[in-house]
Structure formats: C-alpha cells, structure tokens
C-alpha cells in the first residue's frame, strides 16, 4: 500500500474524535499564526495545535497517515496565508498602525476626563423644512 492509498483509507475511516482533533489542531495553528494576538496566546495555541495534531496522528489507524494528513493541513494553511499576503500586496493593502494613546507614546486618558473636541469636517447642512 502506497502512502497515498494509506491516506485515502485513513480519510475514509475517520471518526468523530479524529475530526475534532483535526479541527482543534488546525484552528489552534491558525490562531498561532495570527499577529493580532499576543505572544502568550500564540505560544499557548501553538502548544494546543501540537497536542491536537499528535492526538490526531495517534488516533488514526496508521500513525504515518495521520502525520501526513496533519502536514497537509499545515501546508494548506500556509498556502492560504501566502495567497492572502500576495493578494494584499497586489492590491496595496498595508497594515495600519494601532490607534490609541499607547501607539502615540503618551499616557492614556483617565476615566472621567473630558474628551478633546472633534474637528468639524464640513459646514453644517440646514434641513429644508426647518
């Protein structure tokens, strides 16, 4: 039996536990790749992804097929992330800096302080009836 035939038989015989473990591994891996989360969250999600992928490989009838399927999942997410990056580069989408006091290098406003007045962008429009 070739590796491809082994992977196909593993896919055909997957049960609920294997699907849940694969879902947990892929979801945690994608959270680990996301730069919107902090380092601690990303590190914990990477550990959960490793545990989920290990459990998935152990739960499959042939552990080698489970490892191949987990690697295909990681490769698929990598291709998706690369395609998303390429599209954003082609269309000129850039990352915007974070808004707020921390990014501007000043202290955040205290609770209860008055906000600064908003600038007026255009002349006020009068309603025709009033």
Torsion of CA 18, 19, 25, 28, to 10 degrees: -150
Query: Is residue 122 domain-resident?
Result: no
With respect to residue 95, please indicate whether it lies within any of the assigned structural domains. no
In a domain? residue 54: yes
Domains: count for the chain: 1
pLDDT tens digit at each of 130 positions of the chain: 677 776 677 677 788 888 899 999 999 999 998 888 999 999 999 999 999 999 999 998 888 888 988 999 999 998 998 998 899 889 887 766 555 545 555 555 555 555 566 666 666 666 667 5
The answer as to whether 18 is a domain residue is yes
28 with 45: CB under 8 angstroms? yes
Residue 34 lies in a domain: yes
Q: Is 32 in contact with 74 (CB distance < 8 Å)?
A: no
Residue 18, domain extent: 3-90
């Amino acid at each position: 039996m070739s590796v491809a035939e082994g992977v196909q038989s593993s896919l055909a015989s997957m049960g609920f536990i294997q699907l849940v473990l694969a879902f947990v591994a892929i979801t945690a891996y994608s959270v680990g790749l996301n730069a919107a989360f902090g380092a601690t969250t990303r590190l914990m999600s990477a550990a959960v992804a490793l545990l989920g992928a290990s459990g998935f490989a152990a739960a499959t009838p042939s552990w080698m097929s489970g490892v191949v399927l987990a690697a295909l999942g990681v490769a698929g997410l990598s291709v998706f992330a690369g395609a998303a990056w390429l599209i954003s580069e082609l269309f000129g989408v850039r990352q915007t800096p974070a808004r707020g006091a921390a990014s501007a290098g000043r202290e955040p406003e205290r609770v209860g302080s008055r906000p600064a007045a908003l600038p007026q962008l255009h002349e006020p429009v009068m309603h025709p009836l009033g």
